[in-house]
Amino acid sequence: MLTATTALADGHAQAWDMPMAYAASNFHSEQGEIFADKVRDYTDGAIDITVHPGGSLFGGGDIKRAIQTGQVPIGERLMSGHANETPLLGWDNLPFVATSYAENEKLWQAAKGPVAEELEAQQLVTLYTCPWPGQGFYFNKEVTSSEDTQGIKFRSYNTATATFAEELGMIPVQVEAAELSQALATGVAEAFISSGATGYDRKVWEQLSHYYKVNAWLPRNYVMVNKGVWDGLDADTQAAVQQAADETGASCLAKSEELTNFYFDELAKNGMIVSDAGPEFLAELETIGTGMTEDWLADTGEAGQAILDAYTAE
């Protein structure tokens, strides 16, 4: 594996291992392969990226640390997966603040500068980000309010999803996407919130019966590179890699939006009941969401408030 001290100083091609947390068939991973091809092309082979999807090289929770410590130079992770250690990185998990792709993009533009500054201090450089489709709830029964959710073991993937679970009387269980099918099959988890993509990738219709479209937020994955490695590249190579990243970020966003209804259709085709959340359940979720945004602002202070102010400014 490439260490953080390796650069292109000797002019030889560099082999970069790129761990990703999601299945090879997931659109994030497919776009990662496209990015790797573009980097190879635009750098004339100076950087050769090998993508390792599905948590096969490092588990999702270990990817960021692996990049920071130079075990690998590059990788992808759910940004809000780090909100417990860096609350600002939960900017995209503010319930019902930005519920469309256009709103999510506007919120990202407001957050981009502060996020980049925070990550740079952690020896990371963000190359591109890509949103998931809107988040909804998966259950194995009809749910009309929190009366139906008491005591359910709920798979969480960050602090926001754990908070939702607790507020609804459920028991949060930390489970990575790569381990979700097994967790559902063995009863470690009985429900979760995610996009249609995760349900489709994991074939959750084998264990669960209902999907409720809530569109609570559109979380983003981000591809990050070790700052030492990045700073070791010459300006032309940096520009080539960034061009590949910019193009991939745009194509990944478009693919995410394109696939949204496809995932819903596939869940339904495989026997799941796919519907909008009922008014009572949705009202409860919105109340919880307001409190979560207030808590996030308390945790992030002026930096978080500046992001929301920039987002809401005309």
Nearest to 101 by CA among 256, 294, 298: 256
Which residues contact residue 241 at a Cβ distance below 8 angstroms, ignoring those fewer than 6 apart? 39, 42, 43, 47, 127, 225, 233
CA atoms within 13 A on the CB side of 295: 17
User: Phi first, then psi: what are they for 308, rounded to 5°?
Assistant: -65, -35
d(CA 163, CA 79): 17
Mean pLDDT of 74-81: 96
How confident is the model at residue 2, as a pLDDT? 37
Per-residue pLDDT for 9 more than 90? no
This prediction's pTM: 0.91
pLDDT band at 176 (very low <50, low <70, confident <90, very high): confident
The answer to whether 232 and 56 are in contact (CB under 8 A) is no
Mean pLDDT of 158-179: 93
The answer to whether 104 and 98 are in contact (CB under 8 A) is yes
Length of the chain: 314
Alpha helices by DSSP H, the chain: 27-42, 60-68, 101-121, 159-167, 180-186, 196-202, 227-231, 235-269, 279-312
pLDDT band at 10 (very low <50, low <70, confident <90, very high): low
Mean pLDDT of 151-174: 94
Per-residue pLDDT for 294 more than 50? yes
Mean pLDDT of 67-83: 96
Strand 153-156 to 171-174 pairing: parallel
When the pLDDT of each residue in the chain is averaged and rounded to a whole number, the result is 94
pLDDT band at 1 (very low <50, low <70, confident <90, very high): very low
Q: Could you identify the residue written with the tokens 């994030």?
A: 28
Per-residue pLDDT for 238 more than 80? yes
Residue 34 in 3-state DSSP?
helix
pLDDT band at 4 (very low <50, low <70, confident <90, very high): very low
How confident is the model at residue 5, as a pLDDT? 33
Per-residue pLDDT for 6 more than 90? no
- List C-alpha distances in Å: 98 to 74, 90, 134: 28, 13, 10
The answer to whether 101 and 131 are in contact (CB under 8 A) is yes
Strand 136-139 to 47-52 pairing: unpaired
Q: What percent of the chain has pLDDT over 90?
A: 93
